[in-house]
Structure 1
Amino acid sequence: MTTHLALLRGINVSGHNMIKMDALKTTLEAIGFKNVQTYIQSGNVFVDTEEENPASVGFKIKQEIFKAFGHEVPIVVIGKSDLEKSLKNNPFLKENDVDSKKLYVAFVSIALRSDSINDLKMSQVKPDEASIDENRIFIKYAVGAGKTKFDQKYIEKKLNVTATIRNWNTVTQLFKMYEER
């Protein structure tokens, strides 16, 4: 069995794409996923399956969410190593007095080239900062996530990927949960 973490984008936000986590858990168990576990209402779902391909797992979950709830939900599926690299490779953690409440990670659907940072045109979203590491974009917001145009829609448009963003607290908690499984 392989454990995958499906990161659903845009559910239960401002009353849109509402999905109760208990209902999601039941739905995914009904199609054969094992040990389904959710974390908070924003769409973080652990599943165990014989399927090793993350893209196949994401596609299956996406189809079932559409069938069961009628929502078209972008999904990025990651593994434990993705979260571990997030914790180890975040360049903003090396800064003195960094405010972890302003740190986020955008998980994207494909591995990015290191020069993809140029495609993000960061000058358009200054003073926010970003750094790319494979299929992750580390973000440090100057003011906060609610007051920036550097969001997943911006990232998706500039890089032609599916992206979903999690705050630093959620990233660290998801890694702890992975370790406990």
Structure 2
Amino acid sequence: MTTHLALLRGINVSGHNMIKMEALKTTLEAIGFQNVQTYIQSGNVFVDIEEENALKVGFLIRQEIFKVFGHEVPVVVIGKDDLAICFRNNPFLKEKDIDTKKLYVAFVSTTLKSESINDLKISQFKPDEASIDGSRIYIKYAVGAGKTRFDQKYIEKKLNVTATIRNWNTVTQLLTLFEER
């Protein structure tokens, strides 16, 4: 049995793509997922299944959400090791007196090349900063996520990927939950 963390993008945001977490849990259990556990309303779902391939797991979840709820919801699936690496490798945590409330991670659907940072043209968003590490983009917003154009839509358009962003507090909590499983 493999535990996966499915990060659903764009559910329960501003009244769009509304899905109750209990209904999502029941839906996923009905198609064979076990130990389904959700964390907050923004679409963080732990599932256990024999399938090891994260892309297949994401496809199953995306397909069932569309079938049951009628929402086209992008899904990025990651494992415990990937989340632990994410936690250890955030370059902004090395800064003295860093305000973790300004830190975010964009989880993307594919491994990025280090030169992909050039494609993002992050300099036009200064003082926001970003750093790429595998299938993650670490982001440090100067003011806040709600006051920038350097968002998930921009990342997806520039890099031709599926992306979903979580704040650092959520990343920390998800790792704790993964370790408790």
Q: How far apart are residue 88 of structure 1 and its match?
A: 0.5
Report the secondary structure of 1:52's partner residue. coil
Query: What value does the CA root-mean-square deviation take over the aligned residues?
Result: 0.4
Report the secondary structure of 1:119's partner residue. helix
Q: TM-score, normalised by structure 2?
A: 0.99
Q: How far apart are residue 105 of structure 1 and its match?
A: 0.4
Aligned pairs for 1:64-143 within 5 A: 64-143=64-143
Match of 2:28 in 1: 28
Report the secondary structure of 1:41's partner residue. coil
Q: How far apart are residue 126 of structure 1 and its match?
A: 1.4
Aligned length: 181
Determine whether 1:154 maps to 2:154: yes
Aligned partner letter, 1:59? F
Counterpart-to-counterpart distance in 1, 2:174 and 2:87: 11
Moved over 6 A (4+): none
Give per-residue Cα distances to partners, 1:131-152, cap 9 Å, x unaligned: 0000000000000000000110
Give per-residue Cα distances to partners, 1:90-141, cap 9 Å, x unaligned: 0000001110000000000000001110000012211110000000000000
Determine whether 1:163 maps to 2:163: yes
Q: TM-score, normalised by structure 1?
A: 0.99
Counterpart-to-counterpart distance in 2, 1:66 and 1:21: 15
Identity %: 82
Aligned partner letter, 2:55? A
